[in-house]
């Protein structure tokens, strides 16, 4: 088995877990009206990096000619990349309410990741 394919098939658990956990963490902080600490910023960075690594592995597989049977898997990966790109562009606006903004962003990206995962076969 291709090592990148193996990585992509297994890293999804890390990417979905980190985006989900940090997303919920952000919403809890927002509900409690607490300012984010440095740990939340680090967690957000780790979660975004984890999902970008997953998208990057998928891109490498696609470039190597390894394609999923269902085209919607690729579609959701592209939507994740576009979503994170737009979040980067609008990072100043997201910084106004960082816990709520990044919490919702990460939960949305987690949902897209689950949709991509459910469209593998």
Query: Both tokens of residue 59?
Result: 């891109």
Domain map (residue ranges) of the chain: 3-118
Residue-level pLDDT at 121: 62
pLDDT of residue 40: 98
Tokens at residue 32, please? 């409690």
Q: Tell me, what's the pLDDT at 35?
A: 92
Instruction: State the virtual CA torsion across 65, 48, 20, 117 in degrees, nearest 10.
Output: -10
- Spatial separation of the C-alpha atoms in residues 72 and 116, rounded to whole Å: 7
Tens digit of each residue's pLDDT, the chain (121 residues): 799 999 999 999 999 999 999 999 999 999 999 999 999 999 999 999 999 999 999 999 999 999 998 889 999 999 999 999 999 999 999 999 999 999 999 999 999 999 999 998 6
Number of CB atoms found within 10 A of residue 30's CB = 18
Residue 120: per-residue pLDDT: 85
* pLDDT of res. 71: 84
């Amino acid at each position: 088995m291709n090592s990148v394919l193996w990585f992509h098939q297994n890293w999804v658990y890390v990417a979905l877990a980190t985006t989900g956990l940090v997303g919920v963490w952000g919403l809890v902080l927002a509900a409690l009206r607490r300012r984010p600490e440095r740990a939340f910023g680090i967690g957000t960075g780790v979660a975004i990096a984890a999902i970008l690594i997953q998208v990057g592995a998928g891109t490498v597989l696609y470039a190597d000619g390894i394609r999923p049977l269902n085209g919607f898997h690729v579609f959701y990966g592209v939507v994740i990349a576009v979503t994170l790109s737009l979040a980067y562009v609008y990072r100043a606006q997201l910084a106004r309410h960082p816990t709520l903004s990044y919490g919702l962003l990460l939960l949305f990206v987690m949902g897209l990741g689950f949709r991509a995962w459910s469209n593998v076969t």
